Amino acid sequence: MPPSITFNGTDLSTYNLVLMTPDPSAQLVAESYQMLTKAYAPESKSTPKTLTLGVSVVGTSRANAESLLDSIKAVLNSRRDGRLILSTMSDRYWNARFTGLFGSWPAASVFEGTLSFMAYDPFAYAVTETNVTHDIDADPTEIALTVLGSADAEPVFVFTAGEEWDASLTLLNAVNGMAFTWADAMASGERLTVDCRTWYVSLEGSAAMTGVGGQFPVLSPGSNLISVAGFGSLGTLRIRYRARYM
């Protein structure tokens, strides 16, 4: 089957759309930026990513090809981000917004042109979320993780207490040195969620930002070593994340 794209869950090969250009993922732009102090920030920021795709639509007649294009436009005409998946890279998606469709008719029933999207978050995400649970049966406990992708993943850590607990928890990724601390109390069976994408901590669904310290650790591409200390030796840690790609 010729390569195509899926947008917002609709496979556009249904409407005879064929992807003509190669993988656009090699594009990568990072910019430095100036702070109010007029000094430059120590880290660059990732800029939005433009995805420009050469496409064609072949119909049985001009009227049929125009009808197919109308159906494609109906799918694309959204003012919000949608999941964009290229069939040539079906393991990942971009959160992208349709920005334009331009082209011409080299033959009566053939449209060839350019389809463009803007990914304001320039990273692509794994279609399949990794979701693993580990027993916390020693203090400290170390967990080895191998993370796919080419950019840091932003995990969600969910601690479930196996006993009443009142201490200071330390969550460390020993590979990149990022350490998070939380000092408070938990009852047996309660769940503490540490969302490293939104920098938010909740206990049983309610905000639990009091006692938060350090950094929200990310997972680096490749090998990671997660260390949990101060949580006792009864409980579990669930780690959820999607690999990210530049």
CA 237 – CA 188 distance, rounded (Å): 14
Domain boundary (122, 142, 177) is at: 122
Structure confidence by residue, pLDDT tens digits, 5-58? 999 999 999 999 999 986 665 555 555 545 555 555 556 567 889 999 999 999
**Residue 57 and residue 138 share a domain:** no
> Are 116 and 197 in the same domain?
no
Query: 109 with 140, same domain?
Result: no
Residue-averaged pLDDT of the chain: 91
Same domain, 96 and 142: no
User: Where do we find the tokens 């998606």?
Assistant: 93
| 191 and 233 share one domain | yes
pLDDT for 39 equals: 55
In the chain, where does DSSP find H-type helix? 62-76
Rg (CA), the chain: 23
Q: What is the pLDDT of residue 45?
A: 66
The answer to whether the CB of 19 falls within 8 A of the CB of 4 is yes
- What is the number of structural domains in the chain? 2
Report which DSSP code applies to 153: B
127-182 confidence digits (pLDDT tens): 999 999 999 999 999 999 999 999 999 999 999 999 888 878 999 999 999 999 99
Q: What is the CATH number of the domain that holds 110?
A: 2.40.30.200
Residues 87 and 161 placed together within one structural domain of the fold: no
Both 24 and 82 in a single domain? yes
Do 163 and 108 lie in one domain? The reply is: no
The three-class DSSP label of residue 65 is helix
**What domain range is 167 assigned to?**
130-245
φ, ψ (nearest 5 deg) of residue 63: -65, -40
What CATH number did the domain enclosing 198 receive? Answer: 2.60.120.860
Judgement on whether residues 174 and 155 belong to the same structural domain of the protein: yes
The last residue of a domain, from among 83, 104, 122: 122
- 150 and 192, same domain (yes or no): yes
